Amino acid sequence: MSKQHLVIDNGAYNIKAGFNTGEDSDVRPTKVQNALTKTKDGAIHVGNQYQAQTNNYSGIVFRRAYDQGNLTSWETEKPVWDYTFDELSPKKIFDPSITHLTLIESPFQLPQLSTNTDQIVFEEYGFNEYYRCTPASLVPWVDFGNKSNNDFMLVIDSGFTATWIVPVIYKSVHWEGVRKLPVAGKVLNGLLRELISYRHYDITDEPILINTIKEETCFIAQDFYKALNSRQKLQCEFVLPDFKTTTTGYVRKPKDTISPDAQLLRLMDERFSVPEAYYHPEIITLVQNTPLKNLTDLVVESIMACPEVARPLLSANISLVGGSTSLPNFKSRLLSELTKELPSDWLVKVVEAKGVERDEVSWRGGINLTNDDVISDITISKKEYFEHGSNWCQKQFGFKNV
């Protein structure tokens, strides 16, 4: 069998994994919940296995390999990877010894934890070749059409754990400009959980439901105060799961008839007050003078930490990555906030990759990278790994101290 390329974006929420099949752009990654889950009956499920347990969603508990964005628990990650490989190659033999792995990990991992990962890759799975990098560094490899300048890109990556702002210049991360906002999918879920549990029903042990409600109802207000004043008009009704007619719950459409004993959640300001945390982090903390910078502050800082000539180019080539940037209005609100802050003669623009979901941008970039000759120059082979020892990978792939 000939050599194959596998790209894994090892996100804290889900894994995006897939082979480079050589065909063009419409291949999509397999997505696997990056967790072990325990249902109320005590059973433990790996990856997406829990999805067959829809009637057991209530009270489900997640165990993740990540601790504050760091991959600490390989005893949790290993079964999920095994499961992922089974999903990827359900029939044919999966042979790491002829496979090149491109692994995407979040920035600024503790070096020792990255080294653990390298050791698992070579010693446990026995991959033949390996390249490890951050999500943002692969974004310039994605085709954003001919109007974009991929040599200068400002990547805003908002996933589950945090929002990273990463300038990527000539396809390398400009580490001095990297900023992090501790607001992303998980914090929004936490806020929504508190609000709904206080005002409506106790959903503190319903992580899947909370996430569904967020995805179905939340949006970013273009103008927060305006939205607040017209919140009656912006209200929607979410039908809670009864595990007979619906297992996930859904937003009621005007004409939907529902059973008389259905439980409804009437959501108004919750819909946009929660995501407002990106711009008003003081919402999170309930502390009025919260000393947290907001998304706008950090994006401006990030740009200003880059060489002067690069700054307007970065603002004109912003790329949104990660599932949380799929919140409705994410882009338009960001543009209007940044336009207010940045010099008026700078173009502020978000570039979009046609047909690529926001949470698949980095994975797509990884696939494109493996089509390029440069991949062989940056790859570490199993032979080199055993020659140079485990620190070799961190030296090649690790972040730069700033």
For another protein (CB under 8 A), the number of binding residues is: 90
Strand partners, 71: 66
Q: Which of residues 50-69 bind another protein (CB under 8 A)?
A: 59-64, 67-68
Of 56 and 148, CB closest to another protein = 56
* Residue number with CB closer to another protein (86 or 372): 86
CA distance 6 to 103: 8
Least distance from another protein to the Cβ atom of residue 193, Å: 8
Question: Under the criterion CB under 8 A, does residue 15 sit at the interface with another protein?
Answer: no
Q: How far apart are CA 79 and CA 35, in angstroms?
A: 9
Residue 173 touches another protein, criterion: CB under 8 A: no
Helix axes 330-341, 295-304, angle to 10 degrees: 60
Decide: is 223 part of the binding site for another protein (CB under 8 A). Answer: no
Measured in degrees and rounded to the nearest 5, phi and psi for residue 315 equal -65, -20
Distance (Å) of CA 263 to CA 212, 213, 259 = 16, 14, 9
User: Using the rule CB under 8 A, is 36 a contact of another protein?
Assistant: yes
Interaction of residue 343 with another protein, rule CB under 8 A: no
Q: Which stretch binds another protein (CB under 8 A): 265-273, 310-318, 352-360, 361-369?
A: 265-273
Region class of 143: left (phi > 0), else alpha (psi between -120 and 50), else beta: beta
Q: Contact at 8 Å (CB) between 142 and 49?
A: no
Residue 28 in the binding site for another protein (CB under 8 A): no
Interface residues for another protein in 190-209 (CB under 8 A)?
190-191, 194-195, 198, 204-207
Q: Taking a C-beta distance cutoff of 8 angstroms, is the pair 137, 173 a contact?
A: yes
The DSSP code sequence of 307-323 is -GGGHHHHHTSEEEESG
Compare residues 161 and 319 and give the one whose CB is closer to another protein: 161
Question: Residue 382 interacts with another protein (CB under 8 A)?
Answer: no
Residues in region 79-118 near another protein by CB under 8 A: 79, 82-83, 85-86, 89-90, 93-94, 108, 110-113, 116
Minimum Å gap between C-beta 387 and another protein is 16
- To another protein, the closest distance from the beta carbon of 340 in angstroms equals 10
Site string for another protein, 115-154 (x = CB under 8 A): -x--xx--xx-x----------------------------
Please report whether residue 285 would count as binding another protein according to CB under 8 A: yes
Burial 355-365 (b: 16+ CB within 10 A, else e): ebebbbbbbbb
Q: How far is CA 133 from CA 101, 109, 223, 344, 369, in A?
A: 11, 11, 37, 35, 11
Give me the helices (H) in 237-288, please: 270-273, 282-285
Q: Is residue 215 within the footprint of another protein (CB under 8 A)?
A: no
Give the interface segment with another protein, choosing from 25-33, 142-150, 178-186, 309-317 (CB under 8 A).
178-186
